[in-house]
Each structure stands twice: as structure tokens, then as C-alpha cells.
Copies of this chain bind each other. A is one copy, B any other.
Amino acid sequence: MSIPSQDSPTAILRVSCPDQAGIVAAVSSFLYENQGNIVDIDQHVDQDEGGFFMRVEWELASFAVARDSLAVALAPIAARFGMEWELHFSDVVPRTALFVTKENHCLYDLLSRHESGELRMEIPLMVSNREDLRGVADRFGIPFRHFPITRETKAAQERNEIELLRAEGIDLVVLARYMQILSPLMTEAFPNRIINIHHSFLPAFPGARPYHSAHRRGVKLVGATSHYVTEELDEGPIIAQGVTPVSHSDSVQDFIRKGRALEQTVLSRAVWLHINRRTLVHANRTIVFG
């Protein structure tokens, strides 16, 4: 292992396969033999399902294998262990679309962290079912596309959105308090590439108005959950969660106010983990290589 030079790009390999002996040895030997200085390596064995999962990150500067030969070079190891794998390069940043409705706090938090360089991605597009936040998009010079949605137009509009996302080469969709339920059309088009923030500690209070439900139940903590969106509403793999204390003296409005800081923090953390290729989905759960 080795410390990455500040600006040296890295390669990131994520692997899933049946658990078996020799995987770490094979991969680390391959990298060693090709002068690949490992920057970070982490593994996980799923004890219930028997799966093996690994994330390895190494420096490209000294690495003996060219980027476009890497897939071929890895193929024998992948075949030997029956690996599913994905390869990323740290200097290729994801193109991200932000979906919003009315609430601005998650949006500003993402834009602020993008501006400061914390979130290394491109944001070529904002999408909304309303006009409310167009002004924010304008301020940041981000193209804003309005897709008003009614029950009748929903399917057609989602198709339009998907077309636009594909035309723009979007890798990641972030629902920054986007208040529309996505149909399977959309979720199947971007599997494990749509991140939502739900304003409760899932699986408590799924669906609409979770702060109202939490208030009625008299909980002493409110939560927020960021997850990949799947066909089942609020049932997708959880990436990050957080809670903050509340009391009987807090009104629903206070729950909403206290929840905001939580929502933006949890969503931005989930996005950071995703774009740094630190998440891996298996059996509707995430492995988060922290």
C-alpha cells in the first residue's frame, strides 16, 4: 500500500463473487506484479448469503497496465473466481442530474459541496416538476428543465425525462427532496444510480408526511435515510442514515426544521460515498467501504 500523490489519478475496482479462498491473494499479487501501489483495500464477506465483496484502489501513475488494457488483463482472475466487477478511474467524474421540487436545503448543500470541490462530479442538469427552484439553477448557471406532472402525463413525462437523461449522458440521479414517486420505467432505467433522501428513519414512517406521522407517534428522535431507489417505494438499499433528538415541546414544524439539517447531511454523505465508488449493492443492502 502507498499514499496517493495528491493529483495522481487512481483506478478503483469493485468486485462481487461467491466467497472462496485466494481472492485477496490473487488480486493483490496481480497489482503488485504490475507496480500498482494499493491506496486502499477493503473486503466484506456476507455471512448470510456467502458472497465476497472487495474494493481496491491503486495509483495509475506507476501502474504497468494501460487503462484500456486493464479489462483484458483482469479477465483471467475474474473468470477464475466468477467475479462480477466494475472499474472506475478517479479522474472520470460522474455526470449528475439533480431532481428537486420546492425545498431548497438539500439542493444548496449539494451545490455548495460541489462548488468547494468536495463532491467531484459534473452537474449538467436540474429537473423539476415545478418552477420554484429555477432561480437557484439560474444563479449557479445550471440548465433547469421543468417537467410538470399530472396523473395523466406522468408516464409520458417520465419517458421524456429518461430521454433527456440519456441524451445528457447522466450517470447518477439525485432526488434532492423531489416530491414525485418514480415509476418502474425510471427506476429500471437507472438501477442503483438514483439516490433519494427520505425524511424519516426508515423503515419507520415510509411514504408521505413522515414528520407528521412521527409527531403523532411521539418519537424522541427524528431521522433521515438516503437510499437507492427501487421499484418498491422507500424500500431500496440504505446508504446512510442519521437522527436528531426531538421532544414533546417540538411541533410538527419544529420536526421539519430540525430534520432539514439532517436530510442534507445524510444525502450529501450518500452522494459522496457513491461518487467515490464506495458503495456496493447486494441483496437489497449496501456495503459501504467507509
* Chain A interfacial positions (CB closer than 8 Å to B): 1-3, 19, 21-25, 28-29, 31-32, 35, 37-39, 41-45, 47, 50, 52, 103-105, 108-109, 111-113, 115-116, 118, 139-140, 201-205, 217-221, 223, 237-243, 245, 247-249, 251, 257, 260-261, 264-265, 268-269, 272, 284-288, 290
Chain B residues whose CB sits within 8 angstroms of the CB of A112 once the complex forms: 104-105, 108-109
Instruction: Please give the count of copies of this chain that the complex contains.
Output: 4
A105 to B205, CA, bound (A): 30
Q: Give the dominant DSSP class at A's interface.
A: mixed
A280 to chain B, nearest CB (A): 9
Q: Are A221 and B203 in contact (CB under 8 A)?
A: no
Given contacts A139-B139, A202-B204, A243-B243, contact A19 B1 (CB under 8 A): yes
Interface centre among A19, A31, A44, A203 (most CB of B within 10 A): A203
A118 to B31, CA, bound (A): 39
Chain B residues whose CB sits within 8 angstroms of the CB of A287 once the complex forms: 248
A168 to B221, CA, bound (A): 36
Q: Are B52 and A1 in contact (CB under 8 A)?
A: yes
Q: Are B19 and A25 in contact (CB under 8 A)?
A: no
Chain B residues whose CB sits within 8 angstroms of the CB of A261 once the complex forms: 264-265, 268-269
Chain B residues whose CB sits within 8 angstroms of the CB of A41 once the complex forms: 24, 43
Chain B residues whose CB sits within 8 angstroms of the CB of A22 once the complex forms: 32
Q: Are A288 and B203 in contact (CB under 8 A)?
A: no
Given contacts A24-B1, A29-B29, A50-B3, contact A44 B104 (CB under 8 A): no
Instruction: From the candidates B42, B205, B221, name the one contacting A243 in the complex (CB within 8 A).
Output: B221
Chain B residues whose CB sits within 8 angstroms of the CB of A37 once the complex forms: 21
A258 to chain B, nearest CB (A): 9
Q: List 21 A-B contacts (CB under 8 A).
A: A1-B21, A1-B43, A2-B21, A21-B32, A21-B37, A21-B38, A24-B24, A104-B115, A113-B260, A118-B257, A202-B204, A203-B204, A203-B205, A218-B237, A218-B238, A220-B238, A220-B239, A220-B288, A221-B241, A247-B288, A261-B269
Q: Given contact pairs A42-B42, A109-B109, enumerate 11 new A-B contacts (beta carbons under 8 Å).
A: A1-B21, A1-B52, A2-B19, A2-B21, A28-B28, A108-B108, A202-B219, A218-B284, A218-B285, A218-B286, A261-B269
A221 to B249, CA, bound (A): 20
Q: Are B247 and A221 in contact (CB under 8 A)?
A: no
Chain B residues whose CB sits within 8 angstroms of the CB of A39 once the complex forms: 45
Closest to A282 in B: B248
Instruction: From the candidates B1, B25, B38, B243, name the one contacting A29 in the complex (CB within 8 A).
Output: B25
